[in-house]
Amino acid sequence: MHHFLPNGQGLEIRKATMEDAPAMLTYFRQLTDETDFLLFTLREASELSLESEKDFIHSFRNDKKDLLLVAVTAGLLVGSITIKQPDLWKQAHLGQLGIGVLHPYWNMGIGRRLVTAGLRWAEQHKDMEIVHLSVFSNNERAIQLYRNFGFMEYGRMPQGVRQKDGTYGDTILMCKRIKNL
């Protein structure tokens, strides 16, 4: 899918390929360095290898029940979204969403476009009925984005995440029904 950013640059949202592995590794390390809104730390991201990134992409390419999309502008990978379906039959109607956008590209509509593409895919998925996610309670911009898409809060885990500075924050659990029962 081709889009244009407010600055006029083109934006492509597409499935990740094996050739994206080096860019995905660079992107993920930069993402973990820029924000404290991910579960991974920079140290943990630094321990990832090109092979582990290839394995990550490969797992999505070979599994039709899961999705990995990347956002690319000017040849740079700047965002991604994943939706993963559990292997267990009793939870096969669920999809867990994860998303990230590099900080210099915030407020350009990339997150909105990634969520739109992910939800469209989920709606076409034969088994998926509910998309859910967890978000740090201090990530107000992400929470508002999810609410704009109709996600609702269904729970909260007090002190669910430990921040870089050693303090704790709550995790908000959100979901969106994409198909009626």
- Average pLDDT on 61-84 reads 93
Q: Answer yes or no: is 91 within a domain.
A: yes
Strand partners, 3: 11
- Average pLDDT on 150-160 reads 97
Helix (H, G, I), strand (E, B) or coil at 166: coil
Q: Answer yes or no: is 95 within a domain.
A: yes
Helix (H, G, I), strand (E, B) or coil at 63: coil
In this prediction, residue 1 carries a pLDDT of 67
Counting residues of the chain whose pLDDT is more than 90, the rounded percentage is 73
Q: Answer yes or no: is 150 within a domain.
A: no
Owning domain of residue 105: 2-115+122-131
Helix (H, G, I), strand (E, B) or coil at 110: helix
For residue 154, the tally of other CB atoms under 10 A from its CB is 11
Q: Answer yes or no: is 140 within a domain.
A: no
State the angle between helix axes of 110-124 and 140-148 in degrees (0 to 180), rounded to the nearest 10.
Answer: 40
**155 within 8 A of 174, measured Cβ to Cβ:** no
Mean pLDDT of the chain: 93
pLDDT-derived band at 172 (thresholds 50, 70, 90) equals very high
- Average pLDDT on 2-25 reads 92
H or E segment and range at residue 138: none
CATH number (domain holding residue 92): 3.40.630.30
- Per the structure, the count of domains in the chain is 1
Q: Answer yes or no: is 51 within a domain.
A: yes
Q: Answer yes or no: is 147 within a domain.
A: no
Q: Answer yes or no: is 66 within a domain.
A: yes
Inform me whether the pLDDT recorded for 156 exceeds 90.
Answer: yes
In this prediction, residue 64 carries a pLDDT of 81
Inform me whether the pLDDT recorded for 49 exceeds 90.
Answer: no
Nearest one of 97, 180, 179 to 142, comparing CA atoms: 97
Q: Answer yes or no: is 97 within a domain.
A: yes
